[in-house]
Chains A and B, each alone.
Chain A
Amino acid sequence: MSASKPKKSFKIEPFKHKVEMDPDYANNTWKVLEDAIHEIYNHNASGLSFEELYRSAYNMVLHKYGNKLYEGLTTTMTNQLQKVAGQIDAAQGDTFLEELNLKWLDHNKSLQMIRDILMYMDRTYVTNQNKVPVHELGLNLWRDAIVRNGRIRDRLLKTLLDLVHKERTGEVINRGLMRNVTKMFVDLGQTVYLEDFEKPFLDATADFYKAEAQQFISTSDCTDYLRKAEKRLNEEIERVAHYLDQKTESKLTTVVEREMIGNHMKLLVEMENSGLVSMLTNDKYEDLARMYNLFRRVPTGLQTVRDLMTSHLRETGKQLVTDPERQRDPVEFVQRLLDEKDKYDRLIAQSFGNDKTFQNALNSSFEFFINLNTRSPEFISLFVDDKLKKGLKGVSEEDVEGVLDKVMMLFRYLQEKDVFEKYYKQHLAKRLLSGRTVSDDAERSLIVKLKTECGYQFTSKLEGMFTDMKTSKDTMAAFQQKMVEEGNDSDISLQVQVLTTGSWPTQPGAKATLPPEILEQCDKFKNFYLSTHTGRRLSWQTNMGTADLRATFAHSRHELNVSTYQMCILLLFNNADALSYQEIQAATEIPVADLKRNLQSLACVKGRNVLRKEPVGKDVDEDDVFHFNDKFTNKLHKIKIGTVSAQKESEPEKQETRQKVEEDRKPQIEAAIVRIMKSRRLLDHNNIISEVTKQLQSRFLPNPAVIKKRIESLIEREFLERDKNDRRLYRYLA
């Protein structure tokens, strides 16, 4: 025998069924049970015998008195609870809730015992007759007799809501008691909790916060208001944890969010001096994060924030790009755009949790206002030019990449990418030919980025330019070696870059008569080059070159770094002290605009005026006379004489570039139309326009009117024809 387990001993006594015939059997047995139920409610259960009571109930059910038992139980419990209701109702003031809770706990305990002794009835009679089980019956009776009692119901609700209100206004309440009572509602069933407590509770909550929001909004600024709302929201969430059913949380927060935020969204974000715009302007990360977190909880909340941010961004962006002051300095202009982008990137990352929809709003806003200014492509290219010429000196490789990436980001916003390409080509050509590019790696890195963004086609010519530069270097080395071998040494050292036609931006009319001593060298190179590359043609692009000259003045000697045109002009003064404008033009044949500009930089810039102009003046006229300025002095030995030219294009140049771009677009549009029609065969006008626009989107935004003209031109050239029945339809002619 093991002693490890608790042991009880039974006595088995035979039981005589002599009472079976007794007509009062059922009544007597029920009487025993009824008395027991009263005893249980009177806390005297420890004197009762479970065995006896269970056996009594068992026998009643066994002898078909189940119904009597069940009905008796219902009646007895109902009477009992009515008595309890009276006691609860009699409780005064604060003791009311405590009394109710006490009686509820009592009832639960008693019900448990009653259920145990009637277990057999629960298992057989109740199941067979589809009756409500004892436990549930007890809860239903409590619900009807107590919770929905006419004298208790409203009082109970009011007491509970008062307590919540007290806590909301800062008083300390008995949370444990609250918890028990709300738990009672839950135990009585979801519908009881929902209808008898939760619904009125939520209504009271709505009223409370409606009033509070009204009051806050008239006394607080946006920052303050949001802080208060956040605090309230957290309090309510805590409240649920302390004494409400977990399922209430979402409903409760929805009510608070609606009353505190949802109903006042517009008012809040648009608050003057403290609303969204003020937060954005003053980098209030914390406040913005709070706003984001609160507004995301209400429907259309984030949309409200996003819409206002977008319109603010567009407005400020528009001011930025259309302000004529800003356009004076393209580098500064682009830098401002980048700064603005950085600011909002940081803001969205820190306050808006990198929300994709906000990033999209930011991007679309930038795209919107950058393209408001038709000069944006030019300015961005100028910014790159500036960075690659000097801005990146002493900057680490990673930082260079950073700058280039940012430029690419702006580039992506451009609708007229082909315009950017045009300018970029011009600026790159200047950088390469004047040897002013700081970092070859950076140049190439940007080309790679452009290639990934726009494809091979976009950058092939740019890459061609780099190849030309490299080939030229080799060619020059070979040429110079040959010159030395042939003993053909000259005072003049010639550097030639052979540029592939088409890859480089060339001005067709740019021509000048080179001085004979230069021409001689040029011819030597020409012969050398054509001897190895038969069948090619060389023509001299005098507008792109530079020259280093040694010049002797009355007081000093200087080395002058000038353009090829300027060299041509200055060499004339080796044989003359004074020349008129007309004479210079006749001798050099430099195009008028270039000549004027170069003369201006030689004669009119202080510290660089190696020529003297008569009459003195800022601009060059066709009757001016130029003298060699013998008295020229400068502290520096080496002097670079730049060409007077605005960094950005002048108005006529801009027009010219524009026209070139438009010309270049024509074949691209035509090619797109033909590609589309070739595959579709038959298509109506609107569809062609939209397909063409889609195909060319990555390069530029074609104008529908221009597309229409191209279609007409293609019809004329019999690539397409109009359908005979429907004039809106076009047919592809193979």
Chain B
Amino acid sequence: KGGDDNEASLTYDEQIVEKVNLSSKTGADGVERKQLFVSSAILASNSEYFRQLFSNGMRESEEKELIIKLAAKEEQAFIDAVRFIFCGHVASKSALDLIRLILVADRFGIPSCIQAACDAL
């Protein structure tokens, strides 16, 4: 299931970006749900995926709360990718984390993140 210490790692010190709030709860179905509050404009400008997600005219374009399904091992990497978008630096340390970060960045079309993660590797 989901990671256990991600709350602590999501403390942002940058002032220009909004703080990203992360809350976590596990639903009745046993699937853990974590909630991120982020600026869609900043996401869209860094990721082709989010750009289309917000604007291409399908269901998500109209919704305020979007659900993205991830495999458990992708979760931390996804949060790291979002953090990269807002902070501009790669937080992951281990090689495995970095590889996961690259895979997630590839899936969501964030080329700058792939580049940064490869450099860190």
Contact = CB atoms under 8 A, between A and B. Distances in A.
A45 B71 contact: no
Contacts of A119: 48-49, 52, 109
B18 interface: yes
Interface string B13-25: 0000011010000
Interface string A92-130: 000000000000000000001100100110011000000
Contact of A13 (B32, B36, B54, B109): B32
Contact of B33 (A6, A12, A47): A12
B69 A9 contact: no
A49 interface: yes
A113 B39 contact: no
B58 A48 contact: yes
Interface in B10-44: 18-19, 21, 31-42
Interface stretch (A51-59, A146-154, A510-518): A51-59
A50 B38 contact: no
A383 B59 CA distance: 96
B66 A8 contact: yes
B118 interface: no
A143 B44 CA distance: 33
A9 B82 CA distance: 12
A5 B72 contact: no
A123 B67 contact: no
Contacts of B32: 13-14
Given A49-B58, A50-B60, A123-B109, A8 B69 contact: no
Contact of A51 (B38, B39, B68): B68
A14 B62 CA distance: 24
A51 B66 contact: yes
A703 interface: no
Contacts of B60: 49-51
A13 B69 contact: yes
Interface residues of A, number: 34
Contacts of A282: none
A11 B35 contact: yes
Interface centre among A8, A47, A52, A123 (most CB of B within 10 A): A8
Contacts of A54: 49, 53
Nearest to B33: A11
Interface centre among B1, B32, B107 (most CB of A within 10 A): B107
A45 B109 CA distance: 22
A11 B31 CA distance: 11
B58 A113 contact: yes
B72 A14 contact: yes
A58 B62 CA distance: 23
B75 A8 contact: no
A7 interface: yes
B12 to A, nearest CB: 11
A7 B36 CA distance: 10
A126 to B, nearest CB: 14
Nearest to B24: A12
B59 A48 contact: yes
Given A8-B64, A10-B67, A116 B52 contact: yes
A1 B18 contact: yes
A659 B85 CA distance: 103
Interface in A1-43: 1-2, 5-17
Contacts of B106: 124
Contact of B41 (A1, A5, A52): A5
Interface residues of B, number: 46
Interface string B82-98: 00000000000000000
A8 B21 CA distance: 11
B65 interface: yes
A46 interface: yes
Contacts of B66: 8-11, 51
Contacts of A120: 107, 109
Contacts of A51: 53, 60, 66-69
Given A5-B18, A5-B41, A51-B66, A12 B58 contact: no
B104 to A, nearest CB: 11
A13 B59 contact: no
Contacts of B21: 1
B71 to A, nearest CB: 5
A115 to B, nearest CB: 9
A8 B38 contact: yes
A49 B40 CA distance: 17
A113 B18 contact: no
B56 interface: yes
Contacts of A55: 69
Contact of B62 (A1, A46, A53, A113): A46
B70 interface: yes
A474 B67 CA distance: 118
A11 B67 contact: yes
A46 B64 CA distance: 15
Interface in A252-268: none
A11 B59 CA distance: 16
B105 to A, nearest CB: 12
B70 A49 contact: no
Given A1-B18, A51-B66, A10 B56 contact: no
Nearest to A58: B107
B37 A14 contact: no
A2 B48 CA distance: 25
Contacts of B41: 5-6
Nearest to A52: B69
A13 B52 contact: no
Contacts of B70: 12-15
A105 to B, nearest CB: 14
Contact of B78 (A12, A49, A124): A12
A3 to B, nearest CB: 9
A12 B62 CA distance: 19
A10 B35 contact: yes
Contacts of B1: 14
A116 B34 contact: no
Contacts of A14: 1-2, 31-32, 69-72, 75
Nearest to A17: B71
A119 B108 CA distance: 10
A485 B1 CA distance: 144
B36 A10 contact: yes
A29 to B, nearest CB: 14
A476 to B, nearest CB: 102
Given A8-B66, A52-B69, A123-B109, 16 more contacts: A1-B37, A5-B40, A8-B38, A9-B37, A10-B35, A12-B34, A12-B36, A12-B70, A14-B75, A15-B74, A46-B59, A46-B61, A46-B62, A50-B52, A50-B59, A51-B60
Interface of B: 1-2, 18-19, 21, 31-42, 48-49, 52-54, 56-72, 74-75, 78-79, 106-107, 109
8 contacts: A7-B38, A9-B38, A12-B34, A13-B67, A14-B72, A17-B71, A45-B58, A47-B59
Q: Which 6 A-B pairs have the closest CB atoms?
A: A5-B39, A116-B52, A14-B72, A50-B58, A12-B34, A15-B71
